[in-house]
Amino acid sequence: MNIVIVDDDILVANALKTILEADKELRVAEIGADGSDAVSLYRKCKPDVLLMDIRMKNMSGLDASEQILKEFPEARILLLTTFSDDEYIVKALKLGAKGYLLKQDYTSIIPAIRAVCTGQTVFGTEIMSRIPGLLKKNTDFDYENYDIGSREYEIITLVAEGLSNREIAEHLYLSEGTVRNYLSSILDKLQLRDRTQLAVFYYQHR
């Protein structure tokens, strides 16, 4: 797996490179120092995962994420920061970042990269539990206007609770394939990118 690291602290960036390349399956293709580097390096390398700091000079990791995801909607971006800031978490979720990690927890970085490469999102139980209180609610929203039926709404609520496709299938006595089909249809109807954005959407419109 090819990784691009972007952090304005060169010591941190090199430490991350050392940690990642201790795993023989990971290779750090490039290192950048700010958000503008992230955009140009993503275009150049098309990495499997972009591991990026949030607070940086010139262009932040969040601004870079927004620009990259507009150009490359399938980009896998893991945001890495020392700050568990509510505003950062909400914006990261809304943008469609695949994860939000704290620098202090170095042991979680490689497992998070592997999880993201298999299609998962990595925000952690603590952060996910805070989401309902962080997101503004809109009680006037009507799912029926988007042709969302009762079974689809049930799946949306279970996704928002953090259940995997397998767990949803067991809960609703469906096959995983059927759950995947439902989820694909829901995302299409609501014009959302992935299950993380779907969870955010649910809490915003509950």
pLDDT in tens, 94-142: 788 888 888 777 788 899 899 888 877 787 556 666 666 666 555 567 8
pTM across the whole model: 0.66
pLDDT in tens, 38-85: 999 999 999 999 999 998 988 999 999 999 999 998 899 999 887 666
For residue 198, report the phi and psi dihedrals to the nearest 5 degrees. -65, -40
Q: Which domains does the chain have, with CATH numbers?
A: 2-130 (3.40.50.2300), 135-204 (1.10.10.10)
Contact 70, 91 (CB under 8 A): no
Alpha-carbon distance values, 83 to 152, 154, 196 (Å)? 35, 34, 20
Contact 53, 6 (CB under 8 A): yes
